[in-house]
Structures are given as C-alpha cells and as structure tokens.
Structure 1
Amino acid sequence: MVSHAHQGTTSSALTRLSFNVAQLVGIPPQGYAHLLGLAPQHLNDDLCRTPAATGIRLAELSTVHAHWTEVAGLLAQQSDIGTLGVWDYLITSAPTPLEGIRDAAAHFAVVADSRTDGMRITEDGGQVTISHLNEADLTYEAACGIRAYALGLYQRRLGEAARRGLVPLHVSLAAEAPRRHDALIELYGTRSIEFEAATSSITFLAADLDTPSPHVQPGLSAVLRRHAEQTLASAVPLHDWLDLFRTALASAHDEGAPTLSAVAQRMTVGARTLQRRLEEHGTTWSEEVETMRRENITRLLHGTDLSVDSIAARSGYADARALRRAVKRWYGTTPAALRRAGHGGEAQAGV
C-alpha cells in the first residue's frame, strides 16, 4: 500500500537519471543546482525520495535545451539495468516478461509519483498493451519526452527479461508528430508509431511476453516484491525544506549528539540562517531536537529490549533519570509503561 506521505515524490534513482541527462544536454548547473533534493547527500541516498517537482523541472529544462525526442532517447540510453534499483529486477527476474511487467506496474510507486503516474496493462487476444499514464502538471514538450521515454524503458526491460530484442507491434504517443521520426524509430525499433493518441502505449505479441524467461530462479520474484515494498516503506520523502532539515538532523544524530552548527554545516548554511529558516516554518531548533528524541526513544522502547540507561545514552540524555522526566512530560507515564503499551494507542493518546 502506498503511503500518502510518499505521494508528490519520486525515487532518488529516477531523479539521478534526470539530473545526468540535464548535464548531458548542456544545462548550466546554476539552472537546477538550487532544486530541493539535488544536494549530493540526498541525490546519492537511495533511501531519500526527492520532490516530484524537482524531476519535473529537470525535464522541462532538458526539453528547452534539446528536442523531446532526443531527451527521451538519452534517458533510455542512460537506463542500464539496475539504474532504477529493485524496480528494474522485478521485470527481469520474473518467470516470464509478462509477469515481470505486471509486478513492475503493481510497484510503480517505488520509482514514480503514484499521485500522477502509473502503468496499465491490457491483454486482448494475442496482444499485450502497456500504457503509461501521466497527469503531472508540466510543459507539453516535457510531457512528450517523459511518455516517450517510459515506453522505451518498458521495451528495453522486457527485452532484457526475454534475453533478446523485442520489436513492438505498435507504439502510440500522446504527442504531435515531430518533423523527424529518426530518434523514435531508433528508440523503439519500428516505424509503426502513431501520434496524437489519447494515451501513450506500446503493444507486443502476447507470445513474446509469455515465454518463460531463461535462467529464472524460483522464488526470486517473491523476494523482490517484498524488497520493493520494504524499500518504499523505509524511504524518506522530501517534500520541502523542512524535510531536508530533518534528514540532516537525523543523520547528525546517528553520529552522536547533534549540534546546531553541525547540522547547519551539513546544509551548507550558517547557524543563524538555519534558525531563521526554522522560525519561518513555525518551529525551532530545540523543538525539532525534542521531537526527534521523542520519536527515537519511543521506537527503541517499542522495538528493542535495550535498558533505559542504554536508550538514554543513545538519545543524548545525561542519564536514565533525565530520560524518565522527558517521557513523563511527553506521555504522562513511565518508560516501562510506554514499553508495555507496545505499538498500541496508549502512547499516542498522551501525545
């Protein structure tokens, strides 16, 4: 099940791909370096989900500097197997390419924004049609590039699953016909391309997708599906500046007691600027540290058998007595009672 918190974000892997293509088409760094989620510590962290608006802006900038057909081709060229993480292997490790693309459609939120993007698979007799659904608010050229790329990506992964090149029966694009089709013919390997379609889709012979994949390993698909679900569940969605701050604070906490200056340095701003930005978002440094400690302590009490002394040391408190006072202030109870409450509602009732 897709969490509402993940909507409006995409995987950092997909953002890295868009970032690399923006560089390839020659966009000056100052045109996109300021976008949320493009700092190295977020862009290169597979646990982070960057704002969908960042990917949209990269696509829009890219299609200003290069035609959308070229951008689609570059995205496809840069999409080697593994580029999009576990989602790629859902397709290539299934018993058949068809089962793989079904798994990919069911777990599309692992890479894309489930609020605006999706896949639909339609089986009609001897044909299978894979449609890319996109309702994001972006420029026409960027939308064309993304749709064209998505179909090319599906074709490439299905071919890798089948261990041979797959030529589609037909490609439909929700885009006006460009003056030259060369890039698209090369991308799909066919001249059977329809433009101005209601939905972008790619159609294959069912027999091509229903043939058992070579060297399939029994049970691997189930493992990958669970991994995809866990990947999404453990991801950290970055919607705005406050999300970025909280990931920096959590990272600093993992390395010891976080300080204002250390977190400010991670975010490449001054300590005073950081305090001012927190105030603009209706919070303060002390409130954020307290919230992080409360969540961390609650998680440790519910999910581990660590002693109160150990939890106090891990959470930046001087001793167990200080931690007990904090838990009493937060929940009106003791750490022992909070632990007994487990994952239930007693602790929440006291928040």
Structure 2
Amino acid sequence: MVLGELASQHGVNWTELLKSAGMTEDDCSDSEGRVDARSCLEVFELFATAAGNDALTFDVFSQSPVSYGSIFEYLFLCAATLREGMKNWARFHQTRSNCLNFGYRETDQFGMLNFSLPDHLGPQSQFLFASLGFLCSRIERTTGEDPILFQLEIAAKRPKKASKFQARHGNRITFDADESRILVPSRFLDRIPEGADPSLFRIIEIAALQELTQMDQVESQTSIIAAKISQGLRAGDCSMDYVASAMAMSHRSLQRTLESEGTSYRKVLDDVRRSIAHRHLVDTDRPMKEIAFLLGFSEVSAFSRAVRNWFGVAPRALRQRSTKTAAISDRQTS
C-alpha cells in the first residue's frame, strides 16, 4: 500500500497502525490479494490522524506513479480517448474493488465520472480524497496544450489542512457535496491518453473480463445482505422481508444464509446502522434529525440512545471529538 511507504517519513508506526485496523503487512504486500473494505478505509483514516495531516492523501495519490492501479489504471491509460477511458472505469470498476462503485454519463456541457462507497462501511473521507487525487492525475495524462480545468465535487467535509492538490484546483473543488464526481468539460472528452494503444487495450480488456468473472465468486453473502440493508434504509424499509425480496430469497433462506456465516439479521442491521451513523457524524455536517431519519429512527432521542450504546457518547460529542482530534493534529504539525 502506498501509505505504508510514507509511514516512516511521517513518524507513523505502520505495523501498529495496521494492527489497529485488524490487518498485517502481508495483507498489503500481496498484489493479487483482497483486503476487507472496512479495514482498508480505517487504515486511511488512522494514517491521516497519525500523520497529523487530514489533506495528505490528496497529494500522495495525485502524485502516485503509473502502474499503482494495475488493470484498472491501464483500462484508462490505453483507451482511445479520455471519454472511453472514463467509460472503462465505470464498466470495469470491480477490478479495483467490489464496493467502490463508478458511473459515467454525459450532458451537453460535461462528461461526468462519479464514484462512491456504501455508507455502511463507515467513515471514508480519506479514501475519497485519495481516489479523487488518483483519478484526476490520470485524467491529466492526456495530450493537448490546454490544461483540463475540470470541476470536482466530493461527499466529505473540507480537510483542516491544505494540500498542493487543493491549491492547484482552487475553487473548482466543492466539498460536502451530495456525491463525489469529476466533471470534465465536453471539449476535452476526445483527448487521447498518453498511453493509448488499441492492441494493448484489447489484451487488458480480456484480462479485465476474466477478473470480473473471478470477482463474482469472492463476495460473502453477509456483505451483500449488508448492502441490501443499506439500500433498504434509504428506501425507508430495512425489514428482513424487504431484504429477502431484494435478494430473491425466502425469509427462512435468508436466516439460514446468515447463520451459516455466524451472524444474524439483527446483528447485521445493527452493524450497518452503526457504521452509517459513524460515517455521517464524522464525515459530514448533516443535521442529527436527518441522520436519525436515514437510519430509520422516528425520534432523534431514539437515535441518540443508539449512538450512546454504539460509541459510549452522544452524537454531538462524537462529532465534536472527531473535529477536536483534527484540530489537535493541525496544531501539532503547524
């Protein structure tokens, strides 16, 4: 992992940090391996806190060398045009992660690449910063004399620290947006990536298709059910009947599936609610009432009791604690 290479430079004990997130260095060194998404996101958050810089990942990943993204990266760099490259990211996003979702669409003004992670994975601002930095740096690797002045939106609060990435893009970055996306003006969409190569792209496309087939066999049923519960919460129905129907399963089959993986519907629902609450209390400034409603609580008081049970503090205290931690890190490194 790129962060591991920088750990010593910023006084971070990488081994202990990984241990705190339930990971080891071996988990990060296997280029063909997969790591738990929740643990990965936690590593990003812990690194920013330990390094005392909540904007560092912008610069780290916008300056990362070519090949870091493997197949996912070359699906863009070897494409015929910038437009086709972004379409490839949307088409093959699971080659990078089975929980990081991409989409692409166009209007008369922009080609828009959006990316997102499920809220039930918990706080994710640092990973979103890293992803934005990485994606933008690759889009900038296209031919043409004029720089691509794209608009950037990110579904996370503005970091306390500043970065070179933010300085470069200035007021074209919007924080606390409804979604994370890159808006490329239409006049740039036919630009050619620096590594455009039709023959090489065909080889990479075949490899990507094979990898997608393998990915279909990896995801656990519990993680799929958790994603369906998250969708149900947004739709206003997190009942077992809703999730069973969404998965084309019977109520009993859903129970047996969870039991076979050592858990229960009640526990998965509680874990999903806890993680979504954590995500919105730490990463956003959404009103408490809105978060409570999103989680299916009819009263803010019920939401507050649940947060106390999950984290040992009231919702406002949890939000203030994350802000205070960032402020302390800011003073220690200024």
Relative to the length of structure 2, the TM-score reads 0.56
**SS state at 2:132 partner:** helix
Aligned identity (percent) is 17
**Structure exhibiting the larger radius of gyration computed from Cα positions:** 1
1:44 to partner: Cα distance: 2.8
Give the number of aligned pairs.
219
Q: Distance in 2 between matches of 1:105 and 1:60?
A: 25
Alignment pair present for 1:38 and 2:24: yes
Alignment-derived partner of residue 153 in structure 1: 134
Alignment-derived partner of residue 203 in structure 2: 223
Q: Distance in 2 between matches of 1:164 and 1:38?
A: 44
| Distance 1:53-1:203 versus aligned 2 partners, 3 A rule | same
Alignment-derived partner of residue 154 in structure 2: 173
Q: Distance in 1 between matches of 2:44 and 2:144?
A: 31
| Consecutive unaligned residues in structure 1, runs of 5 or more | 1-15, 240-280, 283-351
| Distance 1:175-1:234 versus aligned 2 partners, 3 A rule | closer
Relative to the length of structure 1, the TM-score reads 0.54
Alignment-derived partner of residue 200 in structure 1: 180
Equivalent residue letter for 1:72: F
Q: Distance in 2 between matches of 1:128 and 1:134?
A: 21
Q: Distance in 1 between matches of 2:117 and 2:195?
A: 34
Q: Deviations over 1:61-87 (max 9, x none)?
A: 11222332123322332x211012111
1:204 to partner: Cα distance: 1.4
Highest RCO, 1 vs 2 (Cα 8 Å, sep ≥ 6): 2
| Distance 1:184-1:156 versus aligned 2 partners, 3 A rule | closer
Question: Would the aligned equivalents of 1:50 and 1:237 in 2 still touch at CA under 8 Å?
Answer: no
**RMSD of aligned residue pairs (Cα, Å):** 3.1
Q: How does 1:233-312 map to 2 (within 5 A)?
A: 233=213
Alignment-derived partner of residue 6 in structure 1: none
Q: Distance in 2 between matches of 1:215 and 1:150?
A: 21
Alignment-derived partner of residue 116 in structure 2: 133
| Distance 1:165-1:231 versus aligned 2 partners, 3 A rule | farther
| Distance 1:164-1:32 versus aligned 2 partners, 3 A rule | farther
Question: Would the aligned equivalents of 1:60 and 1:139 in 2 still touch at CA under 8 Å?
Answer: no
| Distance 1:229-1:61 versus aligned 2 partners, 3 A rule | same
Q: Distance in 2 between matches of 1:82 and 1:190?
A: 28
1:147 to partner: Cα distance: 1.6
Q: Distance in 2 between matches of 1:103 and 1:179?
A: 34
| Distance 1:213-1:76 versus aligned 2 partners, 3 A rule | closer
Question: Would the aligned equivalents of 1:102 and 1:121 in 2 still touch at CA under 8 Å?
Answer: yes
1:157 to partner: Cα distance: 0.9
Partner residue of 1:75 out of 61, 75, 90: 61
Q: Deviations over 1:33-91 (max 9, x none)?
A: 47566343x433322112223312211211222332123322332x2110121111111
| Consecutive unaligned residues in structure 2, runs of 5 or more | 221-260, 263-334
Q: Distance in 1 between matches of 2:196 and 2:6?
A: 33
